Amino acid sequence: MEAAKEADRCGARVTLIEKSDAPDPPWRVWPELISSRRPAGSLPYPLDGAFDGTVLRTEARSAGPGFVITRDGAKHHFDAVVAATGCGFEPSPFWGHRKEGVYLLDRAREYADVGNSASSASKVVIYGEGMRGLQVASRIYRGRDVRIIISHWAEGEPSWNIRAAIFRAAGECGVSIGYGTLSKAIGLGPLEAVVVDGKIVPCDLLALLPRRVPRVIPMPAQTGRYGGLSVDRHLMTSTACTYAAGGCAELSCRRGAGSTLENESGMSGRVAGANAAGRHLTFEGAKSKELRFFGLRWAAAGDWGAPFGESPTVGVITETLEESACTITFERSTGRVLGVETVEPADSAPVDLSSVASGAASMRTLAYGGSSDISLVSETARLGLRTWQSS
């Protein structure tokens, strides 16, 4: 949608091939539907009042340099093509997955349904991706027994001290968190329990968060490590005049987990749309992110958390207080900060990580940034500065 609007603003004649009359809102806002009384279908259509092009209500089946073939076999020719087919969900079949009380959270409407059903549930199990599981649990835990079972972290596991602070805050809210593999949903009729690593866990509501993977239609373009279309900094694929954005695009120069552009779908769509219309923009991407759960605010910038870890060239410094924690990853040879991850009470003053996001931060600038307040970040940087200087 963003690619179509941006190309239209740049003066191109645009055709949007969209198979749905009412596409889902962006994936990042789906958890908000749990605590909202507004049904998913009432959200505004993303193109309302902002697009003068043509919309074809059909499905793209394949693409090549300057053309797209749709479901009816018609071949549509263009000067440039933007693939924005998003992500799909890996199937997670297990015995009992169709039982009443089992919710596969693969559509926006399912999030709204879980929010409605949780009001009458007493024991809830949330299974799947870690960060999304925390977001879901923080909206339904009140008045019920909630257990999160993590199967994977989509964008890398949080640092150990950050993870410990989050798990502790969740425990104080009555939410238990662990790791495991779910194999069955059981019950004589509606859901009564699930089987995790061979153990029976009683529950009357199961929320499943399946792994998300790039959805790519056949085209002669290179794919990356995670199955998305490999793109350069201009979001062009290896096929001439073909661009990609959002969850189906994979920035080849990125390191670590979560390298698709799903969480930056809006910005990547605008860059891809503009470049398809003849511009020459460079995609920088968001280098910081923030989430809230269980009275905490988790924030990260740069290359945070598990993708790095200690090595001969990379150092990791941590600091932990009663309700807060901070991890700084830095380059041993120069003291340049590679990433910062923090967790603090949600009502505390936000931490400014803009210098980390821009790549301009060093241990020295974080430790002596001119603030009279010694924040947890600067305290951690002071520890790191001493470590770096002594080495």
Distance CA 287, CA 359 (A): 9
| pLDDT at residue 50, rounded to an integer | 64
Whole-prediction pTM value? 0.86
- Work out the pLDDT band at 170, boundaries 50, 70, 90: very high
CA 262-266-23 angle, to 5 degrees, is 80
Distance CA 57, CA 162 (A): 46
The answer to whether the CB of 254 falls within 8 A of the CB of 242 is no
Same domain, 58 and 106: no
- Whether 93 is in a domain gets the answer no
Count Cα atoms within 13 angstroms, Cβ side, for 32: 9
State both tokens at 164: 């410990």
41 Cβ contact list (under 8 Å, min separation 6):
22, 109
- Does 388 have pLDDT greater than 50? yes
| pLDDT at residue 59, rounded to an integer | 93
Q: What is the pLDDT of residues 85-99, one digit of tens each?
A: 999 888 777 888 889
- Whether 167 is in a domain gets the answer yes
Same domain, 198 and 115: yes
Same domain, 323 and 256: no
- Whether 326 is in a domain gets the answer yes
Distance CA 189, CA 5 (A): 48
Same domain, 203 and 220: no
| pLDDT at residue 79, rounded to an integer | 96
32 Cβ contact list (under 8 Å, min separation 6):
none
**Residue 70: beta bridge partners?**
60
- Number of domains within the chain: 3
Same domain, 263 and 295: no
> Closest by alpha carbon to 258, among 286, 239, 283?
286
Question: pLDDT: is 128 or 43 the higher one?
Answer: 128
Q: What is the pLDDT of residues 334-347, one digit of tens each?
A: 989 988 999 999 99
Question: pLDDT: is 260 or 198 the higher one?
Answer: 198
Least confident of 62-71, 86-95, 260-269, 302-311: 302-311
| pLDDT at residue 17, rounded to an integer | 94
- Does 306 have pLDDT greater than 50? no
- Work out the pLDDT band at 256, boundaries 50, 70, 90: very low
Report the range out of 132-141, 251-260, 315-324 with the highest average pLDDT: 132-141
Alpha carbon separation from 258 to 166, 211, 247, 301, 327 (Å, rounded)? 21, 11, 10, 14, 19
State both tokens at 176: 């238990």
The answer to whether the CB of 262 falls within 8 A of the CB of 333 is no
Same domain, 255 and 196: no
Same domain, 113 and 151: yes
289 Cβ contact list (under 8 Å, min separation 6):
263, 299, 300, 301
State both tokens at 234: 């201009």
- Does 38 have pLDDT greater than 60? no
- Work out the pLDDT band at 119, boundaries 50, 70, 90: confident
Q: What is the pLDDT of residues 39-53, one digit of tens each?
A: 545 444 555 556 788
- Work out the pLDDT band at 349, boundaries 50, 70, 90: confident
| pLDDT at residue 257, rounded to an integer | 45
Output the domain CATH number for residue 360.
3.30.390.30
User: Rounded to 5 degrees, what are φ and ψ at 28?
Assistant: -65, -25
Mean pLDDT, all residues of the chain = 87
Mean pLDDT calculated for residue range 366-388: 80
Same domain, 107 and 193: yes
Distance CA 142, CA 326 (A): 28
Choose the final residue of a domain: 209, 239, 256: 209
The answer to whether the CB of 353 falls within 8 A of the CB of 340 is yes
Choose the final residue of a domain: 169, 187, 209: 209
Find the farthest-apart pair of alpha carbons in the chain and give their distance in angstroms, rounded. 68
- Whether 96 is in a domain gets the answer no
| pLDDT at residue 389, rounded to an integer | 80
Same domain, 234 and 259: yes
Same domain, 325 and 189: no
| pLDDT at residue 357, rounded to an integer | 81
- Whether 284 is in a domain gets the answer no
**Scanning the structure block, which residue is given the tokens 């069955």?**
184
| SS3 state of residue 147 | strand
Task: Say how many Å lie between the first and final Cα of the chain, rounded.
Answer: 51
| SS3 state of residue 199 | strand
| SS3 state of residue 85 | coil
- Whether 281 is in a domain gets the answer no
Mean pLDDT calculated for residue range 173-197: 95
> Closest by alpha carbon to 326, among 142, 119, 163, 121?
163
Output the domain CATH number for residue 185.
3.50.50.60
Same domain, 133 and 179: yes
Name the residue type at position 197.
D
Is residue 288 within a helix (H) or strand (E), and if so which, with residue range?
strand 288-293
| pLDDT at residue 307, rounded to an integer | 47
Choose the final residue of a domain: 150, 175, 209: 209
**Residue 8: beta bridge partners?**
none
State both tokens at 259: 């390298």
pLDDT above 70 covers a percentage of the chain that reads 91
Question: pLDDT: is 27 or 134 the higher one?
Answer: 134
Least confident of 79-93, 163-177, 260-274, 359-373: 359-373
- Whether 282 is in a domain gets the answer no
State both tokens at 321: 């207080």
Domain, as residue range, for 146: 102-209
| pLDDT at residue 28, rounded to an integer | 82
Distance CA 178, CA 261 (A): 28
Least confident of 17-26, 185-194, 235-244: 17-26
Mean pLDDT calculated for residue range 54-77: 94
Alpha carbon separation from 350 to 123, 296, 329, 347, 360 (Å, rounded)? 34, 11, 20, 8, 19
Same domain, 204 and 221: no
